[in-house]
Amino acid sequence: MYRPIPAGGIDPAKIAIEIEQVRQSDRFASRSSSLPTWCPGCGYFGITHALTSCIHKLGRDPDEVAFISGIGCAGRFPYFMRTYGFHTVHGRALPVATGLSIANPELTIFVVGGDGDGVGIGGGHLPHVSRRNVNIVYVLFDNSIYGLTKGQSSPTSPTGFVSKTTPYGNTDAPIDPLVMVLSHGATFAARGFAGDIEGLEKTLIEAVEHEGFSFIHVLTPCVTFDKVNSTWDHLWEKTKGLPEGHDETDRAGAIKLAIDSPYTLGVFHRVQRPSMNRSLEQTKIKASGK
């Protein structure tokens, strides 16, 4: 796993060489000239790094990729990319991405957004995209808090979590986004961590290569508004790899693992089923009477 500060400390000369190597390469060709407006130390920088590396490694040109987002700190993501992008309204990235996927099946489409956007206000769309197997990659930036609006509890905040909206402790039980998509038939479901950039990049590449709906639940800290729950320290300490011999095709096993093991990283479930895009092609042929 990548650690922000190496054990022996930082060597400025080595960093300068690495920065120059990055400048010379086209590794960040998909990034725009707008620098992210996120707080220093936010986990979203790690996710951005993994996403740009994924696009680079897959050899996709920026005009072959689209990022669709809702609202939130994570929702600002499309501004920081030179790909196509659409910053839609709160919780509505999935229906917009579904339409785009049907209109232009050649595009590699990523949906990006926070836990509030994706499983709160937008949560009603997640079951349907899962069961329809729409050919998009959904990267859920889950910091278990509303960041942009300054630190309210979200649907993934743990019970007892103290925040601006729950000063005496959250009384609600959290939603597990992985259990949610698996219950509704997602064909690719994985978990990543903003600190494990190499692992996340690998999972993203596999998600893009999967035909159908690919969901990646990414654990990430909000360093400004959460000092106790999903912090860098806690996430480094708790995250771990999949158990030996994990069977990706066993959906019930994947659901059980997601319930029992909220900090396990990797591909929980992967099966093949016709995507909505492919099924619609068949419907078109049937409707044309050929």
Ligand X SMILES: Cc1ncc(C[n+]2csc(CCOP(=O)(O)OP(=O)(O)O)c2C)c(N)n1
| Residue from the set 52, 83, 153, 154 that interacts with ligand X by CB under 6 A | 154
Instruction: Count, in order, helices (H) and strands (E) of the chain.
Output: 10, 9
Please report how close the Cβ of residue 77 comes to ligand X at its closest, in angstroms.
9
How far is the C-alpha of 290 from the C-alpha of 280, rounded, in Å? 15
| Residue from the set 32, 165, 224, 231 that interacts with ligand SF4 by CB under 6 A | 224
How far is the C-alpha of 136 from the C-alpha of 250, rounded, in Å? 22
**By CB under 6 A, residue 66 contacts ligand SF4:** no
**By CB under 6 A, residue 116 contacts ligand X:** yes
Q: Tell me the two tokens of residue 164.
A: 């601006």
Judged by CB under 6 A, which stretch of 26-34, 92-100, 156-164, 216-224 contacts ligand SF4?
216-224
**By CB under 6 A, residue 139 contacts ligand X:** no
Between residues 38 and 138, which has the closer beta carbon with respect to ligand SF4?
38
Q: Tell me the two tokens of residue 147.
A: 């960041």
| Residue from the set 46, 72, 123, 174 that interacts with ligand X by CB under 6 A | 72
Between residues 125 and 270, which has the closer beta carbon with respect to ligand X?
125
Residue 54 host element (H or E): helix 44-58
**By CB under 6 A, residue 39 contacts ligand SF4:** yes
In the Cβ-directed half-sphere of 193, how many Cα atoms lie within 13 Å? Answer: 23
Instruction: Provide the 10 A C-beta neighbour count for residue 144.
Output: 24
| Residue from the set 28, 62, 149, 162 that interacts with ligand X by CB under 6 A | 149
Report the SS3 class of residue 85: strand
Residues in contact with ligand X, total (CB under 6 A)?
19
Residues, the chain: 290
CA dihedral 75, 79, 83, 87 (to 10 degrees): 40
Contact between 80 and 32 under an 8 Å Cβ cutoff? The reply is yes
| Residue from the set 30, 31, 38, 195 that interacts with ligand SF4 by CB under 6 A | 38
Q: Tell me the two tokens of residue 267.
A: 């591909």
**By CB under 6 A, residue 44 contacts ligand SF4:** yes
**By CB under 6 A, residue 71 contacts ligand X:** yes
Where does this chain bind ligand X (CB under 6 A)?
71-74, 90, 113-117, 141, 143, 145-149, 154, 222
Where does this chain bind ligand SF4 (CB under 6 A)?
38-39, 42, 44, 73, 143, 147, 222-225
